[in-house]
Amino acid sequence: MEGSWGPLAYEGLLFLGFRGPEEASSIHVGEPVKCFRKSFLYSVYICVGPRGLVAVKDYSVSSLKWLPAFIAAAPTVRYRRDPKLRAFSELYYSRLLRGVVNTPRILSAHLWERGALIVKEYIPGIPVLDSRDPGAWRMAGKALADIHIRGYALGDANPGNFIVSGSSITLVDLEQARPSDPASIAWDIITVIAYTHLTRARGTHLKELIKTYVEEGAPTGETIRELKKLKYWTPYLLMPHKIVEAMKIIGNLEKWKHSTQTTS
């Protein structure tokens, strides 16, 4: 456990020893259980049983997923790769940030020597990254601003981690969350933009997210200065054709921030 986190306050049941997704979820949904996921690299299973369905996250599965992100973030933010540290972060920040943004209820945690697995409340809805509703993107912008203003950063600010259902938005991934500083907030902003470009989501929707983020009072001038440093732009080594567009977004962010300051 990272010392700066303080004592771990978690909810739900705690089990020591290996359990697969089916066995872990059966405690909550009964048997028989059927679990499925999008691909073998995807760490979240949806498990269905006689009493309902739950989301099960296996932190040992996604260790490889973090390798390219770890390399890209190396100049700016230190990512957690250890499965148990990522699980501890999920447990800790799911409760800590629930007063800022909706987070899934933790049902049980299963820890063993080389891995970890957490069973969570299943959150129905649409990931913001897949949504064509500008209102969903604005909700994500407000949620991200609230998190940053309260002194936290996500580390992995993928808009796909925000699930929208009607007028409600829920943040479902907190394994890289941390106390914020200008560098970690700048990295959150870059990852929001980069994920949107990687998935070819509509630029107008990203604009809605960033503009709402600024209107809610974020970021600070120091973070804007950080964003102009080359070390934050490593994700664009994979998509250099998008870097001008990304820099234009940062320019708009600065312009909107100046506008809100002069009118307040």
**H-state helical runs in the chain:** 21-29, 66-73, 83-96, 134-149, 182-198, 203-215, 221-227, 243-263
The pLDDT assigned to 256 comes to 93
The pLDDT assigned to 61 comes to 73
Separation CA 29–CA 47 (nearest Å): 8
DSSP 141-168: HHHHHHHHHTTEE-SS--GGGEEEETTE
Judge contact between 13 and 27, C-beta under 8 A.
yes
Give tens-digit pLDDT for 73-132.
556 778 888 899 999 999 999 999 998 999 999 999 999 988 999 999 999 999 999 999
The pLDDT assigned to 6 comes to 44
- Given a cut of 50, the residues of the chain with pLDDT beneath it are 1-7
This model's pTM is above 0.85: yes
What domains does the chain contain, in order, with CATH numbers? 3-121 (3.30.200), 126-263 (1.10.510.10)
Separation CA 131–CA 105 (nearest Å): 24
The pLDDT assigned to 10 comes to 62
| Residue 26, amino acid | S
